[in-house]
Amino acid sequence: MTCEEARERLDDHVNGDLSADVAADLARHLAVCQGCRTEERELRALLARASSLARDVTPERDLWPEIRDRIERRSVDAFFEVGSWATWRTAAAAVLILATTAVVSYWLGRSSVTFPPSAGAESPGATLAGGVETEFAEARLKLRAWLADNRGSLPPDSLQRIEGNLRVIDDSIAQIRAALDKDPTSPELNRLLLATYRREVQLLQRANAWSARI
Amino acid sequence: MRADEPERGWEVVRGSAGSDSEDAVWVRQARAGDLAAFERIYDKFHRRIYGLCLRMSGDRSAAEELVQETFVRVWQKLHLVEAQRNFPAWLYRVAVNVVLSDRRSARRRARFIDSRQDPLDAERPRPGAGPAGHEASLDLERAMENLPPRARAVFVLHDIEGRRHEEIAHLTGVAVGTSKAQLHRARRLLREALRP
């Protein structure tokens, strides 16, 4: 066996994949060839280092919040893509069920949005999301005002679609608020409410940007 | 390979903490829409998946995105996996798919940007980062980052993750002989990079 043949077989050799005959030939070569023995030693050392590497590696930052946001965003988008009242009722029922389970403690522990006590509030659902909801409310008021002022600049069919989507969103917000009146401390409902506001603002922002382009 | 194919390689991730039945319970809960249960799945497996993505991509930022894409995709496809079956192996296969498809997308984007580019360029070490220019003190992780992408992927799957060539060929869509050739190349380049 030549050195070239031996080195071609070293990978299979260290993997234990050589037949007995070829393995014996290689062993004879290694016994008399220091260069190939060095190659074999280096290869085994490399594999030992590779196998000693920890398979678990901790990321430098917490990747979960973005995963959670992407999952939630897709859920809301999927809901609004359908947008039917029947679908909404089903989704709302599911949310109410979720809100009464261990999910509540999960959201209370993980959410970046705080949920102050609702005692004394005129409308508990209106206060739970605090300043975040106020910011969304201001943004949506501005964008709704823009839409009212610029109805004439939008193609009729586009305007019809935008206003149809906004009606669905309004219905959804009303339903979420009604559910919040019954369960004002539900973090899941609050998150859904904020996600719905966010969806509305995004829709209006897209319409605004699109209108500017045309 | 599709993510919903029967699971293999379950033994690769069986060593993670916790019991199989615990996984099965969480998977069932997550399939019902319980995001808290899915977070427990993430907490248990994300380091394993991150390690895989980091070494296969050779890029920390890309690995973070690949982990996120993996878990988002897993959430979307949970209905395809049976809770009692080998969820960790299925998760692992989804992650490998995500990494490989991302590499293929990156290559397509590169070719689109410059149609004159030699497709084999992606297989060459980055300029100035090749084994020949490496200091002897480079550790294995650093040396792996500078491997050509295909050779690195095969090395990670075979020599770190413990996969056999037949499975690597199945996962990556290449012939077994090609997988062996890439492994041979990766080991040679790494030995050269790590020599004193």
B170 neighbors B1 (Cβ within 8 angstroms)? yes
Please indicate, yes or no, whether residues B95 and B133 belong to a single structural domain of this protein.
no
Contact A11 B42 (CB under 8 A): no
With tokens 């070829």, the residue in question is A22
Please indicate, yes or no, whether residues B99 and B26 belong to a single structural domain of this protein.
yes
Please indicate, yes or no, whether residues B114 and B157 belong to a single structural domain of this protein.
no
Pick from B85, B100, B122: which residue ends a domain? B122
Q: Which residues of B touch A66 (CB under 8 A)?
A: 68
Pick from B100, B122, B144: which residue ends a domain? B122
Q: What is the CATH number of the domain that holds B118?
A: 1.10.1740.10
B33 neighbors A98 (Cβ within 8 angstroms)? yes
**Quick one: closest CA in B to A69, which residue?**
B72
The pLDDT assigned to B89 comes to: 85
Nearest CA to B15 out of B68, B51, B39 is that of B51
Pick from B122, B153, B186: which residue ends a domain? B122
Please indicate, yes or no, whether residues B114 and B135 belong to a single structural domain of this protein.
no
Please indicate, yes or no, whether residues B78 and B99 belong to a single structural domain of this protein.
yes
Note the pLDDT tens digit of each residue in A189-214: 777 777 777 777 777 776 776 666 55
Q: Is A148 on the interface with B (CB under 8 A)?
A: no
**ipTM surpassing 0.90, yes or no?**
no
With tokens 């897209």, the residue in question is A206
Q: Which residues of B touch A63 (CB under 8 A)?
A: 46, 50, 64, 67-68, 71
The mean pLDDT of chain B is 75
The whole-angstrom distance between A14's CA and the closest CA on chain B is 11
Please indicate, yes or no, whether residues B70 and B146 belong to a single structural domain of this protein.
no
Answer yes or no: is B9 within a domain: no
Please indicate, yes or no, whether residues B50 and B134 belong to a single structural domain of this protein.
no
Note the pLDDT tens digit of each residue in B72-119: 999 988 877 765 567 888 898 899 989 988 766 565 545 444 433 333
Answer yes or no: is B2 within a domain: no
The pLDDT assigned to A107 comes to: 34
Range with lowest mean pLDDT among A75-79, B64-68, B190-194: A75-79
Of residues A131 and A155, more confidently modeled: A155
Chain pair A-B, CB pairs under 8 angstroms: 90
Please indicate, yes or no, whether residues B22 and B116 belong to a single structural domain of this protein.
yes
Q: Which phi and psi (to 5°) does residue B44 adopt?
A: -75, -40
Residue B142, token pair as written in the block: 């650093």
Neighbours of B141 (CB within 10 A): 13
pTM of the model: 0.57
Q: Is B191 on the interface with A (CB under 8 A)?
A: yes
Note the pLDDT tens digit of each residue in A124-154: 333 444 566 676 677 777 777 877 887 777 7
Q: What is the CATH number of the domain that holds B183?
A: 1.10.10.10
Most confident of A64-68, A84-88, A108-112: A64-68
Answer yes or no: is B185 within a domain: yes
Residue A27 has pLDDT above 80, yes or no: yes
Note the pLDDT tens digit of each residue in A170-188: 888 888 888 888 887 777 7
Answer yes or no: is B57 within a domain: yes
The pLDDT assigned to A115 comes to: 31
Contact B35 A54 (CB under 8 A): no
Average pLDDT over residues A3-29: 86
Average pLDDT over residues A57-84: 72
User: What is the spatial distance between Cα B2 and Cα A213, in angstroms, rounded to a whole number?
Assistant: 41
Give the structural domain span for B90.
17-122
Residue A155 has pLDDT above 60, yes or no: yes
The whole-angstrom distance between A137's CA and the closest CA on chain B is 27
Please indicate, yes or no, whether residues B186 and B146 belong to a single structural domain of this protein.
yes
Answer yes or no: is B60 within a domain: yes
Of B43, B48, B184, Cβ closest to residue A56: B48
Please indicate, yes or no, whether residues B95 and B175 belong to a single structural domain of this protein.
no
Residue A10 has pLDDT above 80, yes or no: yes
Number of independent structural domains in chain B: 2
The whole-angstrom distance between A63's CA and the closest CA on chain B is 7
The mean pLDDT of chain A is 69
Most confident of A110-119, A187-196, B82-91, B172-181: B172-181
